[in-house]
Chains A and B, each alone.
Chain A
Amino acid sequence: MPTPDPSQNCGSPDHNLHRRKFLQGLSAGAISSMSFAGLFGAPAFAEIAKKKQKHCILLWLCGGPSQFETWDPKPGTTTGGPFKSIPTNVPGTHFSELLPKCASIADKLAVVRSMHTKAKEHTEGINLLQRGHAPRPPFTRPTMGSVLAQQLGQLDSKLPNFILLDPCPEGNEFKGFKAGNWAGWLGAEYSPVRVGGEYKIPNANRLDSITEDDHEAREALRKFFSKKYENDRKSSAAGSWNATFERVNGLMSCAHLFDLDKIPQADRDRYGPGAFGQHALLARTLVEEGAPFVMVANGMPWDSHVFNHEIYQMVVPDLDNIIFQLTKDLEDRGMLEDTLVIAMGEFGRSPWINQARGRDHFPDAWSLAMAGGGVQGGALVGATDKYGAEVIEDPFNEENLFATIFSALDIDPHAEFKIDGFPTFHHVENKAAPISQILS
């Protein structure tokens, strides 16, 4: 089968319409009075929807990145480490010297230096910062990506609404998390499609021996029987399988979008040769093609119990370039306003170094950064003490953070999940307030 032109999207006009805007904007009567094809074909409507489409790229810095070597340097103190701080293009704001490119675009970044959470170990930390709330068994709260897939996702999009780019298949506790339930009570439909390493989706092409008509006929038959089975048996497992089939079908028509070879070499060179940079570039192209949420991970390289400074001399410059290129590219394409970029992990790292000259887990006072849609560039929120050991100004927890992310993406952070037979759950519990200082 010929490979589609990667510069084109999946070919469906419904790329331009996302689910929530559609449901919010139309009454049932309106829906019933017009055909889907006609609706999506209306250029004016499609244009409006396209303008309102929000996206999110999460650079998942798993392992817990050190705030000292990134956003909250403490040079010249006993806890500061060997890296200095440098001024940014926002007067009074300094970053680690390992972030010179980010320093040059600090007016486009929003930095929170006062995250204060409770989870001290990876598994609980990853769950907390991926789901925004501590566990409440037996209910499994969906991850941020699953909620955003549901809220920002497009109707019948061929491109998955939640893409996890994950070149490192391992990752200790993160590996365990990856094998778990991402979508929680939202269901398998909102689980991530996980791709990475080889960049391409293998075996996604229709066999030459099967005609397109045959392929569609087989799919219609499969869909009919499996849906009947799902309904007759009330089988959630069958439902999950059906969701997976739908996704695979979509991927067959979108596989070319995951192929880095189709991206100009000059772009690939700019993002740096490492797996994290290449996948961040892929995230940009997928968002350009309409993907609402892409998470880029790369194992747990930030977990520097040993060799903290020796590892961070490499991984932070890599991150510096990735954030810079992503922000610049999205801005150049007129997409920064509608695309929220988040760089964070599950906690920070200890001010004091251990005997192995590493930094250990530290949820008491840590930092993160955002750029783009919904956040105010140049904002710097919160502060830690001289040694970075305590938050001394504006502490925020995971609920505040999730309320901020949802608000930035025009999602009501306190809306209820509609789940039959469940207790009442909200996007963010306890009416936690967003970090208003960084919302634009």
Chain B
Amino acid sequence: MNSPSLKKAKEIKLPSHVLDLTLGPDKLYAACLDGGIYEVSTTFKLLGDNFKRIARHDNYASGVNWSASQRTLISASYDGDLKWIDPKEKKESQTVKAHDFWSWQSRLSPDGELIATTTGQYLCGGYKYEPAPETEPSVKVFDVATGELRHSFPHTPPVQSVAFSNDGKLLAAGNLMGEVILWDLTQEGKEIARIKTPDFTGWGIIKGHYYTGGVFDLHFAPDDQSLYLVGMGSTTDPAAGNGKQLWQKFTWKDGPKKEGAAADGEIGQGLMETLAFHPKGKFFLMAGRLFKGNWNAALFDHESGSRLCQKNIGFRISTSAFTPDGKRLFLGGGANQGRPNEKKKWGRIVIYDVSS
């Protein structure tokens, strides 16, 4: 395989940081820190904004997902709500209270029939500030067609990431303490494995005694035989955000086993927040915030784990998506907020052409 490469095609500014994005029928949709769900035009516009707000949550909008089968967008928020949005009419059709606390991440099943969302407040549960047990189920799965709750799963909060397997049969969710639980949705949600890694969690020694980090994103490999976790390596100074840029690959069939990880010589420092597999399944993207090093978005080979290409995007990346044909990559995130009187548009979506 020729090494893939990325070529910047376009950058779009939005009113606030982009936490999630999804590709709709012919538009891009972004969930932003100002609570807005934005329709974003990816074609070049000479005048005016490239975006239009089509819905709004009462708090940070943390997720937006397009269900092709149900022809609806479902957004999620720190207000704990899921919203069903008709993109054509630009109207909300339904709101479901999913959690009492934030929805950290939401993901759609591959067939578009189910939406999973995770929650959980980190509260002091021990002398070393171990997380206290959950007060509500930390992982919930809703029916996209009806809005009904289909599954709820216990976990230790906060649970920051969730993923369906590519065949839609499994669900995985990862938390602050580096614990990932896998459930089999075809067996009434039976727990089938637990993966635990200490490598994504830091305990503050230098500044204060508490835990930071966690599994910020996870993704099943194309064959559903392994699971990739993304975040930041352990750091003793939580205020610095200076842990390693980190991904790790696990299998679980014969007990949890680490099968691969980002090589030390190919990574810098900073929180990695997003992972996306290229549709052809040969490589994947990991991206986030750069603390120290020379890239904050890089492509890695699925087989060997080696880095194939890298970019310093220039802002913090929170979300990513490839187009179905794999020819384009969308990265969403944000720059510094700026002073209120500057009225700065600090959200960013950057589009890259992918050659592979």
Closest Cβ–Cβ distance, residue B87 to chain A (whole Å) = 25
Q: Which residues of B contact A79 (CB under 8 A)?
A: 337, 340
Nearest chain B residue, comparing its CB with the CB of A307 = B212
Residues of chain A from 383 to 402 with CB closer than 8 A to chain B in the complex: 386-387, 389
**Which of A299, A304, A310 is the one whose CB lies under 8 Å from B122?**
A310
B239 touches A63 (CB 8 A): yes
Contacts A273-B127, A304-B239, A318-B124 given; indicate if A298 touches B337 (C-beta within 8 A). Answer: no
Is the C-beta of B59 less than 8 angstroms from some C-beta in chain A? Answer: yes
Q: Does A275 contact B (CB under 8 A)?
A: yes
Of A142-150, A164-172, A177-185, A423-431, the one touching chain B = A164-172
Residue numbers in B under 8 Å from A186 (CB-CB): none
User: Is B16 positioned at the interface, with any CB of A under 8 Å from its CB?
Assistant: yes
B122 near A313 with CB under 8 A, answer yes
Q: Which residues of B contact A303 (CB under 8 A)?
A: 207-208, 239
Interchain nearest-CB distance for B103 vs A (Å): 11
Contact digits for B197-216, partner A, Cβ 8 Å, 1 yes 0 no? 00000001111111010000
- Given A63-B239, A78-B34, A306-B240, residue A168 in contact with residue B127 (CB < 8 A): no
CA distance A317 to B339 in the complex (A): 28
Complex CA–CA separation, A318 to B122 (angstroms): 11
Shortest distance in angstroms between B175's beta carbon and chain A's nearest beta carbon?
Answer: 12
B289 interface contact, C-beta 8 A? yes
Say whether B336 contacts A355, CB under 8 Å. Answer: yes
The smallest beta-carbon distance between B313 and chain A, in angstroms, is 11
A357 CB-CB contact with B under 8 Å: yes
Task: Flag whether B238 is at the interface (Cβ < 8 A).
Answer: yes
CA A309 to CA B56, docked complex, whole Å: 20
CB distance A356 to B205 under 8 Å?
no
Kindly report which residue of chain A lies nearest to residue B209, judged by CB atoms.
A168
Closest-CB distance, A93 to chain B (whole angstroms): 22
Chain B: residues with Cβ within 8 Å of the partner, total of 41
Q: Which of A281-323 contact B (CB under 8 A)?
A: 298-307, 310-311, 313-315, 317-318
Q: Once the chains bind, are A301 and B204 in contact (CB under 8 Å)?
A: yes
| Bound Cα distance A240, B121 (Å) | 48
When the two chains form their complex, are residues A314 and B124 in contact, meaning their CB atoms are under 8 A apart?
yes
Q: Are A355 and B316 in contact (CB under 8 A)?
A: yes
Are A170 and B206 within 8 A (Cβ)?
Answer: yes
Tell me whether B205 and A170 are in contact (CB under 8 A).
Answer: yes
CB B268 to nearest CB in A, in angstroms, measures: 15
Check: A92 CB closer than 8 A to any chain B CB.
Answer: no
Residues of chain B within 8 A (CB-CB) of A357 are: 17, 316
- Give a binary string over B219-258; 1 marks a CB under 8 Å from any A CB, 0 the rest: 0000000000000000001111100000000000000000
Contact with A along B92-112 (1 / 0, CB 8 A): 000000000010000000000
Known: A307-B238, A307-B241. A356 touches B208 (CB 8 A): no
B256 CB to closest chain A CB (Å) equals 26
B29: interface (CB < 8 Å): no
A272 to B271, CA, bound (A): 30
Say yes or no: is B284 at the interface (Cβ < 8 Å to chain A): no
In-complex Cβ contact of A305 among B240, B334, B335, B337 (8 A)? B240
Smallest Cβ-Cβ distance to B62: which chain A residue = A82
Q: Is B78 an interface residue (CB 8 A)?
A: yes
Whole-angstrom CA separation of A299 from B203 in the bound complex: 13
Which of A47-55, A219-227, A346-354 lies at the binding interface? A346-354
Q: Could you count the A-B residue pairs with CB atoms below 8 Å apart for me: how many are there?
A: 127
The interface residues of chain A, by DSSP majority, are classed as: loop
Which residues of A have CB within 8 Å of B34? 78
Contact A82 B335 (CB under 8 A): no
Contacts A274-B124, A311-B212 given; indicate if A356 touches B289 (C-beta within 8 A). yes
CB neighbours of B124 from chain A (8 A)? 272-274, 277, 314, 317-318
> Do B123 and A311 touch (CB < 8 A)?
no
8 Å CB contact of A275 from B158, B209, B237, B334? B209
Q: Is the CB of A82 within 8 A of B78?
A: yes
Cα–Cα, bound, A171→B124 (Å) = 20
Contact between B208 and A300 (Cβ–Cβ < 8 Å)? yes
Shortest distance in angstroms between B161's beta carbon and chain A's nearest beta carbon? Answer: 13
Docked-complex contact A354 and B336, CB < 8 angstroms = yes
Residues in A whose Cβ lies below 8 Å from that of B289? 355-356
Q: Of A63, A168, A273, A351, which one neighbours B125 at CB under 8 angstroms? A: A273
* A376 on interface, CB distance cutoff 8 Å: no
**A151 located at the interface, meaning its Cβ lies under 8 Å from any Cβ of chain B in the complex:** no
Q: Is the CB of B78 within 8 A of A305?
A: no
The complex places the Cα of A240 from the Cα of B125 at a distance, in Å, of: 42
Complex formed: what's the CA distance from A101 to B48 in Å?
A: 48
- A311-353 with Cβ < 8 A to chain B: 311, 313-315, 317-318, 351-353
Question: Does B60 have its Cβ within 8 Å of any Cβ on chain A?
Answer: yes
* A/B interface sample: 13 pairs, CB < 8 A: A170-B205, A171-B207, A172-B207, A172-B237, A278-B127, A300-B239, A303-B239, A305-B241, A306-B239, A306-B240, A351-B340, A355-B316, A356-B241
